[in-house]
Amino acid sequence: MSREHWEEQAANWAAWARTPDFDAYWKYSPGFFELVPPPHGRTLEVGCGEGRVTRDLARLGHRVVAVDPVTTLIRLARDADAGNDYLRGDSAALPFADGSFDLAVFYNSLMDVDDMDAALHEAARVLRPGGVLVTCSCSYHVSDADFLEMLRSAAADIHRNVRLLEHRGQAQDHPTVLGIPETHYLKCVICSV
């Protein structure tokens, strides 16, 4: 979806995301946070929207810098949380030096960026060697094999290996139907880079 679309829908997205028990986040995010490595150094969230993932990471003790290209969403995120840094930025050109973070998180955002490959290259670049990338998004249009290859190649371009720590799909109540590849829609990967 375009940045203009997110800008237009920013207030609606915040109302959606902040209504208790309204969307899947409320049911599935606790399981996701159990997989996220414990706080260590600096954490980056890419595609933070109005900030709920960053606020929940902060509750777990993470010190987070969060980016999103949409001005209104960044303003809403800052208004709701003075304790973490929210910056306007694009996943294809993250405004950080090489090796700045220990952990990078994409939650429900990688399917929305214009250039997934560039986003993964940038995430690998801003992670310190051995830093952890966590990505959990409904990228149903990209196969598992293509997604893992994108990750491998992003890391290889900066002479790094990817070590898979977790590789999951959606929960059991949304089973993949064999023969219908798009039903395997969730790509959840935790890896060191």
Ligand X SMILES: C[S@@+](CC[C@H](N)C(=O)[O-])C[C@H]1O[C@@H](n2cnc3c(N)ncnc32)[C@H](O)[C@@H]1O
Q: Active-site residues: which are they?
A: 138
- By beta-carbon proximity to ligand X, the closer residue of 4 and 178 is 4
One residue of 36, 57, 64, 70 binding ligand X per CB under 6 A: 70
| Residues 6 or more apart whose Cβ sits within 8 Å of residue 44 | 64, 65, 66, 67, 94, 96, 100, 101, 103, 104, 105, 123, 126
For ligand X, which residue of 32, 36, 42, 47 counts as binding (CB under 6 A)? 47
> For residue 123, which of 61, 75, 67 has the smallest C-alpha distance?
67
Nearer to ligand X (CB atom), residue 119 or residue 162: 119
Report yes or no: 166 and 190 within 8 Å, Cβ to Cβ.
Answer: yes
In the complex, which residue's CB is closest to ligand X?
A: 49
Q: Which is nearer to ligand X, 104 or 155 (CB)?
A: 104
Q: Is 81 in the site for ligand X (CB under 6 A)?
A: no
Q: How far apart are CA 82 and CA 88, in angstroms?
A: 16
Q: Does residue number 77 form part of the binding site for ligand X (CB under 6 A)? A: no
Q: How far is the CB of 161 from ligand X (least distance, A)?
A: 25
Of 43, 49, 77, 160, the one binding ligand X by CB under 6 A: 49
Q: Which of residues 15-44 bind ligand X (CB under 6 A)?
A: 17
Rounded distance between C-alpha atoms, residue 12 and residue 171, angstroms: 27
Mark 98-117 with x for binding to ligand X (rule: CB under 6 A) and - for no binding.
---------xxx--xxx---
Cβ at position 31, least distance to ligand X in Å: 14
Distance (Å) of CA 43 to CA 54, 70, 104, 118, 134: 9, 20, 6, 19, 11
**Contacting positions for ligand X (CB under 6 A):** 3, 6, 17, 46-49, 52-53, 68-70, 73, 90-92, 107-109, 112-114
